[in-house]
């Protein structure tokens, strides 16, 4: 299917000052195009959790938003230590976030499960060089 539009966002490690800015931007752009609230809500959750994971757990990365005639994809990738045990990381409540990050209100361990739940298709690959998530929402 034909690609209609794409956007690219860069996210820096430990950038708590700008936490949530990329997902807000994504939300704004989707709203402008005229997607339903249901679609926008899912993509907002996925991009927010992806953005926070890059800020908290990686050395930096980015999100690509691609809009096709029949689907929207989010590619969330970073350079970083990666995830040793992806299955464990996908468990609700599992988090390795340090105490100073938890004090800021992050580290509930629900990010990856939420991304999975909000996605129609979800793929995660991780190595010692970084992590990549491909999330797809199909448009009805």
Ligand X SMILES: Nc1ncnc2c1ncn2[C@@H]1O[C@H](COP(=O)(O)OP(=O)(O)O)[C@@H](O)[C@H]1O
Give contact residues for ligand X (rule: CB under 6 A): 49, 53-54, 56-58, 78, 80-83, 89, 94-97, 106-112, 131
Choose from Mg ion, ligand X, none: what does 97 bind? Cβ within 5-8 Å by kind.
ligand X
If one asks whether residue 58 binds Mg ion (CB under 5 A), the answer comes out as no
If one asks whether residue 111 binds Mg ion (CB under 5 A), the answer comes out as yes
Choose from ligand X, Mg ion, none: what does 75 bind? Cβ within 5-8 Å by kind.
none
Query: Under DSSP, is residue 115 helix (H, G, I), strand (E, B) or coil?
Result: helix
Query: Under DSSP, is residue 8 helix (H, G, I), strand (E, B) or coil?
Result: strand
Q: Which is nearer to Mg ion, 4 or 108 (CB)?
A: 108
Residue (of 12, 109, 107, 111) closest to 58 by Cα position: 12
Task: Please say whether the beta carbons of 68 and 2 come within 8 A.
Answer: yes
Nearest distance from C-beta of residue 117 to ligand X, angstroms = 11
CA distance 109 to 94: 5
């Amino acid at each position: 299917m034909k690609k209609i539009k794409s956007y690219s966002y860069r996210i820096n490690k430990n950038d708590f000052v700008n936490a949530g800015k990329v997902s807000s931007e994504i939300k704004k752009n989707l709203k402008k195009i005229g997607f339903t609230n249901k679609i926008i809500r899912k993509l907002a959750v996925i991009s927010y959790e992806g953005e926070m994971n890059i800020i908290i757990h990686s050395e930096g990365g980015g999100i690509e938003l691609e809009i096709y005639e029949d689907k929207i994809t989010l590619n969330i990738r970073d350079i970083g230590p990666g995830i040793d045990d992806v299955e464990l990381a996908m468990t609700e409540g599992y988090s390795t976030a340090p105490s100073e990050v938890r004090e800021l209100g992050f580290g509930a361990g629900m990010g990856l499960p939420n991304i999975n739940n909000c996605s129609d298709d979800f793929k995660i690959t991780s190595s010692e060089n970084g992590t990549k998530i491909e999330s797809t929402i199909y448009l009805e």
